[in-house]
Amino acid sequence: MNIKQFLDSTYLKTAQQAAVSEIENVKINKYSIQEAIDCDFKLIMIRPEIVAMAKKMISEAKSKVDIGTVIDFPLGQNQLDYKLSEAQKAIDDGADDLDFVVNYEAYKVCEVDLIKEQVIKCTDLGLRNNKNVKWIIEVAALNDSQIIGLCTLIKNCVISNFKESQYDNVFVKSSTGFYKTQNNLPNGATIPAIKIMLENSFPLPVKAAGGVRNYDEAIEMIQLGVKRIGTSSAKAIVEGFDSKNGY
């Protein structure tokens, strides 16, 4: 198994979150992009403002590494126009994958029509531009019933509005990795949550993001059926080490 082709190597911290200067954070991003190129990972996942730099580095290296970015990150609470505008800029800058944060708080108070409109229109923008689209549902913010309901809603929106040949390009993704949980509970992908997602998102693929930090955990996720793994520990995973990275 070529596990590298399942790995979305991820660095999404702002300078403030990383407790470094803006200049130092750009260096960290460059290092992360170069590592993805050198290791031949499936994709490098970075913030929207880094996409153009990643595109230049990857093109100059003649690498096949894809570029992913996050949209309306990490809360997903902006209006549709904001999501579409940020996504279009990322497309123009060279992104291959658009990972939208769904407005999960709106879903929790039953604003279903708002979610449907955003899923349909944002997915349409991505697919029309031949991009992969992923919907981050933030499992740590949801109970099992809400995970089932939100996965089902996204799945039904896609089935009702897009071609079957496009289903493989629309993922349901577990987590941002930035949700603040209480009592040190996991804020990323867990086995129980991923099983629920797989069962209720099919035929859409699932991406497990957050908390996968070593080879055995990655293999377990792949054997469950996930098609992508988002992790800041991609190099440690392929080299067989445990990582202490938080995502």
How far is Cα 171 from Cα 84, in angstroms, rounded to an integer? 18
Tell whether the model's pLDDT for residue 53 goes beyond 90.
Answer: yes
Beta-ladder partners of 240: none
Residue 246 lies in a domain: no
pLDDT at residue 242 in the model: 75
| pLDDT bucket at 4, cuts 50 / 70 / 90 | very high
Total domain count, the chain: 1
For residue 102, give the DSSP letter: P
Residues 150-198 have pLDDT tens digits of 999 999 999 999 999 999 999 999 999 999 898 888 899 999 999 999 9
H-helix or E-strand spanning residue 225: none
**Taking CA 58 as the corner, what is the angle to CA 129 and CA 230, rounded to the nearest 5 degrees?**
70
- Tell me whether residue 173 is one of the annotated catalytic residues: yes
Q: What is the pLDDT of residue 1?
A: 77
pLDDT at 2: 86
Domain-embedded: residue 244: no
Query: What is the C-alpha to C-alpha distance for residues 175 and 24, in angstroms, rounded to an integer?
Result: 26
CATH of the domain at 208: 3.20.20.70
- Burial class from Cβ neighbours inside 10 Å (0-12, 13-18, 19+) for residue 15 reads middle
- Give pLDDT, residue 244: 66
Structure tokens at 95: 């992104």
Is 99 known to be catalytic? yes
Q: Rounded to an integer, what distance in angstroms lies between the CA atom of residue 238 and that of residue 112?
A: 40
Mean model confidence pLDDT for the chain: 96
Residue 245 resides in a domain: no
Does any domain span residue 7?
Answer: yes
* Structural domain of 82: 3-239
- The active-site residue, picked from 99, 134, 155, 235, is 99
pLDDT tens, position by position, 196-242: 999 999 999 999 999 898 999 999 999 999 999 999 999 999 998 87
Catalytic-labelled residue, pool 83, 155, 207, 235: 207
247, part of any domain: no
pTM of the model: 0.96
Poorest-pLDDT segment among 57-71, 111-125, 227-241: 227-241
Q: Which of 13, 83, 173, 235 is catalytic?
A: 173
Tell me: the pLDDT tens digits for 23-40?
A: 999 999 999 999 999 999
Task: Tell me if 193 is assigned to some domain.
Answer: yes
How much is the pLDDT for 50? 98
